[in-house]
Structure 1
Amino acid sequence: MDIGRGGFVSRFTMRFTARAEHIDIMGHVNNAVWLQWVQDIAGAHWHEIATAEENAAAIWLVTRHEIDYRGNIAQGESVIAETWVPDRPAGARFDRMVAFRREADDDGAPGLARPIVSARSTWAMLDRETRRPMRVPATLADRVLTAD
């Protein structure tokens, strides 16, 4: 676990594998697919930590994505994606980080390599019925930031 400004940071991981439909004219995963994977892992993390009541009461909206591309993968290759929330929410908003890493360095060394794609996204919590921003409850913020 890493320590963020708000306390211990809860991390969530998923594996993504590049399929034929993910590959662009350059022969690697299209940038739009990386963005979809950023959203996919965020949604999976939400479903992992949210109670049924929280899920029924809220929806999420992205207000900003910032993505750095430092490498890529080809069809059939996989990456491990890791997401975390580095800081306490500010009202209805918080930032979420995502890092995609190969499972081994290019030289075949075991262990996770440096990120080939990383993203910082700002998310806003909305009331599901009114579609208006709602403050992230402290109990939810504590669960996202605190390791089990």
Structure 2
Amino acid sequence: MEWALPNPFVIELQVTPEAIDAYQHVNNSEYLRWVEQISWAHSEALGLSLERYQSLDRAMVVHRHELDYLAPAFVDDVLQLATWIVACDGRFSLTRRFQLKRVRDDKTLLNARTRFACVALSSGRPKRLPDEYQHVYGGALVAEPVTES
């Protein structure tokens, strides 16, 4: 697969009948579920599990999702979903980028971006990123190419 950015974290998905909507393609809510799934898988691969979040009394909660649906997926399609951390301000937020591709034709079906904000689990109030988050997520940063407008 050729990806938009280097060194992606990738998971493979197979579209099941439960993901299909009345239009006979994957329902848009399923893409969002997959974005959440890979976000957790990547965080865990980096060493930040749910248990670690809980012990630090911090959570990265969604502030904003942007999902660009480019083409549909269908039952039994094999897909690969990639993610990258493209921004981490070292204070309160980080941003992930996502790209979903169909394996059989290498077609990009979805490009997405999610901005997360750090909050205390105990209060739900904004809190600074713990040093561990800054180190782990900051160390996984992938630079996005600069585009001219």
With the length of structure 1 as denominator, give the TM-score of the two structures.
0.78
Aligned in 2, Cα 1:13/1:141: closer, same or farther, shift over 3 Å?
Answer: farther
Alignment map for 1:45-124 (pairs within 5 Å): 45-49=42-46, 50=48, 53-57=52-56, 58-89=58-89, 91-105=91-105, 113-124=106-117
Matched residue type, 2:55: A
How many residues matched? 134
Shift in Å, 1:146: 3.1
* Per-residue deviation, residues 55-83 of structure 1 (Å, max 9, x unmatched): 52222211111111111211111211111
Secondary structure of residue in 2 paired with 1:85? strand
The question of whether the paired residues in 1 share the 8 Å contact of 2:90 and 2:138 is answered with no
Q: CA deviation at 1:87?
A: 1.9
- 2:25 equivalent to 1:28: yes
In structure 2, the CA distance between the partners of 1:10 and 1:93, relative to structure 1 (3 Å rule), is: farther
Residue 32 of structure 2 aligns to a residue whose secondary structure is helix
CA distance, structure 1, for counterparts of residue 66 and residue 16 of structure 2: 24
**Gaps (5+ residues) in structure 1?**
106-112
TM-score, with normalisation over the residues of structure 2?
Answer: 0.77
- 3-state SS in 2 of match to 1:35: helix
State yes or no: 1:127 paired with 2:120.
yes
Q: Which runs of 5+ in 2 are unaligned?
A: 141-149
Q: Could you tell me the percent identity over the aligned residues? A: 25
CA distance in 2, matches of 1:102, 1:145: 29
Q: What do residues 85-137 of structure 1 show as CA deviations (whole Å, max 9, x unaligned)?
A: 112225211111111011242xxxxxxx2421111111112112222222223
- How many angstroms apart in 2 are the aligned matches of 1:53 and 1:102? 33
The RMSD of aligned alpha carbons is 2.4
1:34-71 Cα deviation digits (max 9, x unpaired): 01111111111122221654452222211111111111
Moved more, 96-105 or 54-63: 54-63
CA contact (8 A) 2:78 2:104 kept: no
- Greater RCO, CA 8 A, separation 6+: 1
